[in-house]
Amino acid sequence: MPVVAFGGPCLWQQHVLTALRRAGIGWRIVCTSTSLPAVQSAVEAGLGVSVLLEGNIRSESMKILGRADSLPDAPAADFGLFMREVAGA
């Protein structure tokens, strides 16, 4: 499976690649970029699949793949927003 990846370390992406490996699906990274629009454009051009947050999927030109496409479930991720109190703010 051709994969379009974000350049640099990405823990979430590593979980997806591990899930593909465990499912017996071979993969290779065909394109990398640190730019979200570049990754989106590579996927739209048909170079490969990528891991994107739902809000970054261009529904008019991209398709969410899953079990119906013989792929394992994507790993779940929890996000949090943390802040520290600043005196006088």
The first and second tokens of residue 8, run together, are 């640099």
Give the pTM: 0.79
C-alpha 24, offset from chain centre: 19
pLDDT tier at 77, thresholds 50, 70, 90: confident
- Within 8 A by CB and 6+ apart from 18, the residues are none
16-36 confidence digits (pLDDT tens): 889 999 999 999 999 999 999
Proportion of the chain in helix, strand, coil states, percent, rounded to 5: 30, 15, 55
What is the percentage of the chain residues whose pLDDT exceeds 70?
100
Domain boundaries of the chain, sorted by first residue: 2-69
- Report the pLDDT value the prediction gives residue 88, as an integer from 0 to 100: 81
Q: CA torsion sign, 44 to 46 to 47 to 49?
A: positive
Q: How confident is the model at residue 5 (pLDDT cuts 50, 70, 90)?
A: very high
pLDDT at 39 over 80: yes
**Count of alpha carbons within 13 angstroms of residue 62, beta-carbon side:** 21
Sole residue written with tokens 């394992």: 72
CATH 3.40.190.10 for domain 2-69: yes
